[in-house]
Structure 1
């Protein structure tokens, strides 16, 4: 079953990368098509292209997260610290994309209809709330890890080779 789950994550990551690549091509195409049609490069087309690029980069980072965290075999025995780091990288990508998209929306809305700036401002507030939530998660999970103590060694004794384990344990003691 583990292989099937890893395969599904790999296929999903590949599909996300294809969509991200399409957006990376489509974004400059829309700006160039407007410029070549004789209308010149409009700021709206450029801001739209920036929005597509932001989404493409966020999608690419999500696919990268799947490839790094979910697809590799043997990752079932991760520590809580590994899971926290992986989730932090993933949520950080989403937060950055939210802030960048909010910035683009603020510029677009300020140019078109300043009375609607409240909607991009709400997106900025949502990104701030997400950032604060991530900080709270980091603080609480780190405090929990400290109070629980280090996780036990999950090395399978059948995979070990005796002397290698002694050296590995000695190096862990020396390194902290």
Structure 2
């Protein structure tokens, strides 16, 4: 059983490092696209910059997933020390995903608004999904904080 745990941690560690390298590659690609738009006169700097923001947002989310896997699965293992630690870790992770979804929605709104108003369905759905994620995170925070208090201070029925 111990060998499987070590193998699993190595696999999660490698996967997280690959994700972090890929996130770096996305940021490099976004930066090189912006640099190229300054050098080539017929490329639109605005569109390229918006595209670079989208790539950077995705790269940030991918990097955070890699960091999460490295910290929670490869280094510390699966088990959290307590419910509060698990809540904070999951909240931090989901918050990054929410930010990525909402920033992608914002970038897509600008892109779609310039091209065709009929293309606004996708960014609108992203905004709604981001809003639902925020509400879901709030509900999770409230319920898990209440449960954490109940576990710490059980009320006796006398």
TM-score (normalised: structure 1): 0.79
The correspondence for 1:141, drawn from 135, 141, 144, is 144
Does the CA-based 8 Å contact 1:13-1:64 persist in structure 2? yes
- Alpha-carbon RMSD: 1.7
The answer for unaligned runs of 5 or more in structure 1 is: 151-176
Give the C-alpha shift of residue 67 in structure 1.
2.1
1:114 aligns with 2:117: yes
The answer for unaligned runs of 5 or more in structure 2 is: 154-158
- Please give the per-residue CA displacement for 1:125-157, whole angstroms capped at 9, x wherever unaligned: 00000110011011111111112226xxxxxxx
Partner of 1:8: 11
Partner of 1:93: 96
Q: 1:14 to 1:35 in 2, by over 3 A?
A: same
Does the CA-based 8 Å contact 1:58-1:94 persist in structure 2? yes
Partner of 2:156: none
The correspondence for 1:38, drawn from 26, 38, 41, is 41
Structure with the largest fraction of helix: 2
Q: 1:74 to 1:91 in 2, by over 3 A?
A: closer
Aligned residues: 150
Q: Relative contact order (alpha carbons < 8 A, sep ≥ 6): 1 or 2 greater?
A: 2
Partner of 1:104: 107
- Please give the per-residue CA displacement for 1:6-25, whole angstroms capped at 9, x wherever unaligned: 11111111000110010111
Give the C-alpha shift of residue 59 in structure 1.
1.1
TM-score (normalised: structure 2): 0.87
